[in-house]
Amino acid sequence: NAGVMQNPRHLVRRRGQEARLRCSPMKGHSHVYWYRQLPEEGLKFMVYLQKENIIDESGMPKERFSAEFPKEGPSILRIQQVVRGDSAAYFCASSSGQGGSYEQYFGPGTRLTVT
Amino acid sequence: AQKVTQAQTEISVVEKEDVTLDCVYETRDTTYYLFWYKQPPSGELVFLIRRNSFDEQNEISGRYSWNFQKSTSSFNFTITASQVVDSAVYFCAFCPPNTGNQFYFGTGTSLTVIP
């Protein structure tokens, strides 16, 4: 039973480069969530997707950030022209349904460092 | 607006002591879900428990127990006879019923169990 997979686990980018973070949900899960954890802070919601649809992106910064969950393949969180403030741990979670009655299972996270 | 407060930033206890981690939430919703997650030093998030607002029964799972008090909007977590492996950051989270798209996390409590 594979859990939520994220890769890479660690990513180093120079300012101005692009970062692509991948998330494969648990088998049978079609709901994906992305969260960001800044150093010594809790997780902050970014975006919620179902296959081929962005359902809620209320937590996404308006610029440079985008997310997708294609019909085939992993969900991708893309950060263009990274800045130092983007350095954080990015967690992906998946669930089998929408709403609080479904646990969100988290991946191990991708730690992004912008130099 | 939803808000989760974990007032204890860091706690240290000696092995075998009991410890309670506090969680207080704010909401106007009458139905909702509450969660606890553990984040060990390795960084992944481990689901511990989900509680819906209709169920105020306390729950015990081995050395872990949870005390949900809707009247005081609290969902506290107690570890009995703590062990070194319990050292981690513990997050309380809230999920509203209507959107159910995102979890609101507290800032976490870092627990250190000293051998």
Whether residue A40 has pLDDT greater than 80:
no
pLDDT at A50: 92
Q: What digits encode the pLDDT tens for the residues B17-41?
A: 999 999 999 988 888 889 999 999 8
Interface touch A45/B97, C-beta < 8 Å = no
Whether residue B98 has pLDDT greater than 70:
no
Contact partners, residue B10, CB within 8 Å, separation at least 6: B109, B110, B111, B112
Hey, what are B82's tokens? 């703590």
Substitution target from B27, B37, B94, B102 for chain A, most A beta carbons within 10 A:
B102
Hey, what are A92's tokens? 């992906």
Contacts of B97 in chain A (CB under 8 A): 99-100
Q: Classify burial at B108, counting beta carbons within 10 Å of its beta carbon; exposed 0-12, middle 13-18, buried 19 or more.
A: buried
